[in-house]
Structure 1
């Protein structure tokens, strides 16, 4: 797993690939925060390898920033990090400073669903990793189908608990890959143009 603890009671996130491979970043653990494991991230970013370079990304429910930071490390041009916790946003800003990547990111403290109601530049890759058991994945997917939210053939990653039903997704979304690891089910959708 990517999450270990250090002496100060912080958890540690390790970036597993790209320009910051092996870098360790501390973050304060919080209830419900479960960074995507190394194993799942490795599989996901193998799936994304042909598309990640130069991509414009969105990391909803950013938490530790594991997915967005990994995307930037592997060549994404930009990532918007969205989380409703001021502490999370502060920590992510500190990480981006350490990595000299502030100019490649935007940090937004907001409720994910409210954030998705605002017009934005289209994203190429979206990471949806909400707290489990609250039914948040499906409404996020629903908001993302609005015109102009996603680029043509965008990729949307959705992580849920294995006990949860797969989220209802818009008709233009095709499940490209899916896998289960431990208590996590994860899927990558391709959003067809039109």
Structure 2
């Protein structure tokens, strides 16, 4: 697992041992960043189920202004901190070892770009979407990126959020939501 481009291009990232986390595959990550590449520079990012931190790190490497990394697992947060430090990006990052809903309850938005890639077996993605839209922490023209299994049915969200198209990569699906105003 490597950073694709930017200031940390080619940097190898550590992964958690075992099967507790499922890092985004290179193919999916490349597709994702081809879709959002022009929406990254200068933006505030939230990597809500950070795992290894690779999505937030990729954004920082490509010029994002800030990233909040959130994960409840102490082992995951250690890996995220190590990866961010190895990429020399700690000056634009904050680390929050807490449950996603606890973080959202006190989040200091708005965020321009939010990544939701929770464990597939959980219902966390729908809960996070509901909570984020209820507290409205996404900026005008902001984007929420959800990674899920292809068969997952993600909800429509109330205005001003619009569900965009799904992008399929084998058994994985990316769904983008945009906040219009």
- TM-score w.r.t. the length of structure 2 is 0.93
RMSD between superposed Cα atoms in Å? 1.5
| Cα separation, 1, equivalents of 2:104 and 2:158 | 15
Deviations along 1:71-118, whole A, 9 cap, x unmatched? 111111110000001111112112222222111000000111221111
Correspondence for 1:71: 59
Contact 2:13-2:54 at 8 Å conserved across structures: no
Q: Give the superposition deviation at 1:64.
A: 1.1
| Cα separation, 2, equivalents of 1:160 and 1:146 | 21
* Higher RCO (CA 8 Å, separation ≥ 6 residues): 2
Q: Give the superposition deviation at 1:177.
A: 3.4
Describe the shift of the 1:96–1:119 C-alpha distance in structure 2 as closer, same or farther (beyond 3 A). Answer: closer
Q: Give the superposition deviation at 1:147.
A: 4.5
SS of the residue 2:14 aligns to: strand
| Runs of 5+ consecutive residues of structure 1 not aligned to the other structure | 1-12
- TM-score w.r.t. the length of structure 1 is 0.87
Q: Give the superposition deviation at 1:19.
A: 1.8
User: Residue 105 of structure 1: which of 85, 88, 93 is its match?
Assistant: 93
| Cα separation, 1, equivalents of 2:9 and 2:107 | 34
| Cα separation, 1, equivalents of 2:62 and 2:154 | 28
Correspondence for 2:10: 22
| Runs of 5+ consecutive residues of structure 2 not aligned to the other structure | none
Describe the shift of the 1:60–1:106 C-alpha distance in structure 2 as closer, same or farther (beyond 3 A). Answer: same
Runs of 4 or more, structure 1, over 4 Å off, are: none
Deviations along 1:13-33, whole A, 9 cap, x unmatched? 211122212111222224331
